Amino acid sequence: MSQKLLYTGKAKSLYTTENDDQLLCVFRNDTSAFDGERIEQLERKGMVNNHFNAFIMQKLQQAGVPNHFVKLESDTASIVKRLKMIPVECVVRNYAAGSICRRLGIESGLKLEPPTFEFFLKNDALHDPMINESHIMTFKWATPEDVALMKQQAFAVNKVLIELFQQAGLILVDYKLEFGRHGHGLMLGDEFTPDGCRIWDAETKKVLDKDRFRKNMGDVVEAYEEVALRLGIHLPQVSSPA
């Protein structure tokens, strides 16, 4: 297969495929925090995230939320539809954690009713500043129709995933989504993995997401694997130490 590296992100690389409309998305072990200021390799993370993302994207498709996932290609790569990404990040929060606590002085763990929705500009150099719909219109990052659709889809995702995580005894605290244009439409792209969301154990509130890396709590990939196991995601076996 003739493959050309098209884009290297902080944790994924995109390659062309023989099909102009599809890309190969490789999930790497690189793990970054603080807008790429800290990067480490975490063994097995690429594999876990690839399977995690495939599982969630398929659940969303089954529930009528269109997205770019096509199929698993290998343990660390998936085929996805080629999208023209919109440079904004959409964050949905069910509980307060992270930047909303810092920005608004909210206590971590507060249940947010109704859940909140926020836009951020995808720009590491500017530390992904928070933006609003007016900025999006003025700077033409997306159309009013795109904005309405991104919000609607982000909440549709919430409906599906809150329940999915709840059934596994997990709380979906918050998550970040990115959307892209495909033909005349718009659909969910990027990824849904513990790198881009917060997940807590419902009973103990144990942190099971990338905050373990950000806060040097250890056992990062082990936590991702625990979530995967509890959601029923099939992961290749760990080879036992010699």
Question: Does 176 interact with ligand C5P (rule: CB under 6 A)?
Answer: yes
User: Would you say 81 or 210 has its CB closer to ligand C5P?
Assistant: 210
Cα 111 → chain centroid: 21
What b/e sequence results for 69-104 when a residue is b if at least 16 CB atoms lie within 10 Å of its CB, and e otherwise?
bbebbeebbbbbbbbeebebbbbbbbbbbeebeeee
- Contact range with ligand C5P by CB under 6 A, out of 17-25, 193-201, 218-226, 234-242: 193-201
Interface with ligand C5P includes 210 (CB under 6 A)? yes
**CB of residue 94 to ligand C5P, shortest distance in Å:** 11
Q: Give the Cα separation of 91 and 120 in Å (integer).
A: 8
SS3 content of the chain, % helix, strand, coil (to 5): 30, 30, 40
Q: Which of 90, 91, 142, 170 binds ligand C5P (CB under 6 A)?
A: 91
State the DSSP H helix or E strand holding residue 25, giving kind and residue range, or none if neither.
strand 22-27
114: CB partners within 8 A, 6+ apart? none
Taking CB under 6 A as the criterion, the residue among 196, 207, 212, 225 binding ligand C5P is: 196
User: Considering only 24-32, 42-50, 91-99, 179-187, which stretch makes contact with ligand C5P by CB under 6 A?
Assistant: 91-99
Nearer to ligand C5P, 128 or 133 (CB): 128
Residue nearer to ligand C5P on the CB measure, 17 or 96: 96
Is residue 197 within the footprint of ligand C5P (CB under 6 A)? Answer: yes
Kindly state whether residue 99 participates in binding ligand C5P, applying the rule CB under 6 A. Answer: yes
Say whether residue 95 binds ligand C5P (CB under 6 A): no
Interface with ligand C5P, residue 172, by CB under 6 A: no
Which of 28, 68, 198, 212 is the binder for ligand C5P (CB under 6 A)?
198
Length in residues, the chain? 242
- Near ligand C5P by CB under 6 A, which window of 49-57, 74-82, 164-172, 190-198? 190-198
CA-CA distance, 10 to 87, in Å (whole number)? 15
Interface with ligand C5P, residue 175, by CB under 6 A: yes
Contact by Cβ (8 Å): 62, 92: no
Residue 93 sits at φ, ψ, to 5 deg, of -125, 125
Say if CB 161 and CB 231 are below 8 A apart.
no
Residue ranges in contact with ligand C5P by CB under 6 A: 89, 91, 98-99, 128, 174-176, 196-198, 210
